[in-house]
Amino acid sequence: MTRTGGARATGTMATGMMAIALLASCGQSPASPASPSTASTGASTAAVVATPSATQAPTASATADAPAFPADTTADTAEPSAGAALTVSEATVGAHEGYDRVVLTLGGTGTPGWRVEYVDAPVDDPSGQPLDVAGSAYLQVLIDGTGYPYDTGVTEWAGSPLQPSGLTQVREVNLRGVFEGQTQAFIGLDHTAPFRVFALTDPTRLVIDVQH
């Protein structure tokens, strides 16, 4: 800056200082509403983060979605969703208070249908050959809406037959494979007892509980 006179320079500086003070005073006013906006954004984010935990699917061990055990041992059936193409990728068993549980995990698309019922003896479909399955009572599990691994892109469970120890009811889980869109399996039991069947999602599972 070129100085042209003491009084003029002093006046110019005074004017500049007043302008700075005025600008500073004006600049503070928009800052006040900024805090509520920030708080609102934070609350919204917290609500979004909290949402998944409130909508998580039940685990396979949960019984809240399980139907009551029937008084008899008749067949349990359900229809698959349209276009279902599933493969059994895992089988697990576990002991619970009052019942044993078999969980068949399925990968692919859609939801399974099923027909689960007691049979006199395990017979392989479609060969018609008798099967040696541990136990003295047998549940045949037919899962509809299934396909071959090369169609579904899911690797089939390779742990069959599964023969757990220490359970009250389940002696064996024997997965036979797929034929014409239907997967056959057998559950060998200690004795005949009421059972219940239901499906869970995320991941897709077929659950069979057998009372002790």
Query: The pTM is what?
Result: 0.70
The mean pLDDT value of the chain amounts to 79
- Looking at the structure, do residues 34 and 133 belong to the same domain, yes or no? no
Decide which of 32 and 68 is more confident: 68
pLDDT given at position 210: 98
Q: What are 4-28's pLDDT values in tens digits?
A: 444 333 344 334 444 444 344 444 4
Give me the helices (H) in 3-30, please.
6-28
Residue 98 falls within a domain, yes or no? yes
pLDDT given at position 116: 98
- Looking at the structure, do residues 204 and 103 belong to the same domain, yes or no? yes
- Looking at the structure, do residues 115 and 193 belong to the same domain, yes or no? yes
- Looking at the structure, do residues 97 and 35 belong to the same domain, yes or no? no
**End-to-end Cα distance, the chain:** 97
Q: What are 39-74's pLDDT values in tens digits?
A: 333 333 222 222 222 222 333 444 557 899 998 878
Average pLDDT over residues 89-111: 98
pLDDT given at position 71: 85
pLDDT given at position 63: 53
- Looking at the structure, do residues 83 and 42 belong to the same domain, yes or no? no
- Looking at the structure, do residues 119 and 198 belong to the same domain, yes or no? yes
- Looking at the structure, do residues 123 and 18 belong to the same domain, yes or no? no
pLDDT exceeds cutoff 60 at 90: yes
Residue 67 falls within a domain, yes or no? no
pLDDT given at position 110: 98
Decide which of 1 and 45 is more confident: 1
Q: What are 180-209's pLDDT values in tens digits?
A: 999 999 999 999 999 999 999 999 999 999
Residue 119 falls within a domain, yes or no? yes
* Structural domain range at position 182: 76-211
**Exposure string for 40-78, b = 16+ CB within 10 A, e = fewer:** eeeeeeeeeeeeeeeeeeeebeebeebeebeeebeebeb
Average pLDDT over residues 95-101: 97
Residue 36 falls within a domain, yes or no? yes
Average pLDDT over residues 158-170: 97
CATH number, domain of 193, equals 2.60.40.3500
- Looking at the structure, do residues 13 and 88 belong to the same domain, yes or no? no
Average pLDDT over residues 102-119: 98
Tell me how crowded residue 183 is: count the other CB atoms within 10 A of its CB: 26
- Looking at the structure, do residues 41 and 88 belong to the same domain, yes or no? no
- Looking at the structure, do residues 170 and 205 belong to the same domain, yes or no? yes
- Looking at the structure, do residues 39 and 86 belong to the same domain, yes or no? no
How far apart (Å, rounded) are the C-alpha atoms in residues 54 and 57? 9
- Looking at the structure, do residues 82 and 182 belong to the same domain, yes or no? yes
Residue 130 falls within a domain, yes or no? yes
Residue 1 falls within a domain, yes or no? no
Residue 65 falls within a domain, yes or no? no
Residue 59 falls within a domain, yes or no? no
Please count the structural domains in the chain: 2
80 DSSP assignment:
P
